[in-house]
Amino acid sequence: MIQQIVFLVLLIGFSALFTVNIRQIKKNINLGKDVDRSSNSKARWKEMIRVALGQSKMVHRPIAGFLHILIYVGFVIINIEVIEIIIDGVFGTHRVLSFLGPVYGFLIGSFEILAALVLISCVFFLTRRNIMRIPRFWSKEMKGWPKTDANLILLFEIVLMFAFLLMNASDSLLVAMNSSYYTVEFSTPISQYFIPLIGHLSEVNLILIERASWWFHIIGILAFLNYLVVSKHLHIILAFPNTYYSNLESKGKFANMDSVTNEVKKMLDPNIDPFAITDDTTPERFGAKDVKDLSWIQLMNAYSCTECGRCTSECPANQTGKILSPRKVMMDVRDRVEVVGKGIKKEGEGFDDGKSLLDSISIEELWACTSCNACTEACPINIDPLSIIVDLRRYLVMEESAAPMELNNIFNNIENNGAPWQFSMSDRLNWKDE
Q: Does 234 bind ligand SF4 (CB under 6 A)?
A: no
**Min CB(322)–ligand SF4 separation in Å:** 8
DSSP one-letter code for 190:
T
Q: What are the CB-based long-range contacts (under 8 Å, 24+) for 102-110?
A: 104/184, 104/186, 105/185, 105/186, 105/187, 106/187, 107/80, 108/81, 108/168, 108/186, 108/187, 108/188, 109/186, 109/187, 109/188, 109/189, 110/77
* C-alpha angle 214-216-217 in degrees, rounded to nearest 5: 65
The correct pick among 299, 358, 375, 396 for binding ligand SF4 (CB under 6 A) is: 375
Q: Answer yes or no: are the C-beta atoms of 213 and 167 closer than 8 Å.
A: yes
3-state SS class at 33: strand
146: contact with ligand SF4 by CB under 6 A = no
Q: Which residue, 172 or 242, is less far from ligand SF4 as judged by CB?
A: 242
SS3 for 408? helix
Among 371, 412, 416, 430, binds ligand SF4 (CB under 6 A): 371
Told to check if 142 binds ligand SF4 by CB under 6 A, we report no
Residue 391 interacts with ligand SF4 (CB under 6 A): yes or no: no
Is position 369 an interface residue for ligand SF4 (rule: CB under 6 A)? yes
How many residues of this chain interact with ligand SF4, rule: CB under 6 A?
A: 29
Which of 378, 388, 392, 396 is the binder for ligand SF4 (CB under 6 A)? 378
Work out how close the CB of 58 gets to ligand SF4 at its nearest, in angstroms, rounded to a whole number: 11
The burial of 153, by beta-carbon neighbours within 10 Å (0-12 exposed, 13-18 middle, 19 or more buried), is given as buried
Q: How many CA atoms lie within 13 A of 292 on its CB side?
A: 13
Q: Decide: 4 and 92 in contact? Cβ < 8 Å.
A: yes
* Residue 334 found at the interface with ligand SF4 (CB under 6 A): no
Tell me how far apart the alpha carbons of residues 113 and 108 are, in angstroms, rounded to a whole number: 9
**Per CB under 6 A, 93 contacts ligand SF4:** no
Instruction: Work out how close the CB of 239 gets to ligand SF4 at its nearest, in angstroms, rounded to a whole number.
Output: 9
300 near ligand SF4, rule: CB under 6 A: no
Check residue 254 and report its DSSP letter.
Answer: P
Q: Does 298 bind ligand SF4 (CB under 6 A)?
A: no
Nearer to ligand SF4, 327 or 394 (CB): 327
> Between 114 and 236, whose beta carbon lies closer to ligand SF4?
236
For ligand SF4, give the closer residue by CB, 89 or 309: 309
Which residues of the chain form contacts with ligand SF4 (CB under 6 A)?
305-311, 314-317, 324, 326-327, 330, 369-375, 378-379, 381, 383, 385-386, 389
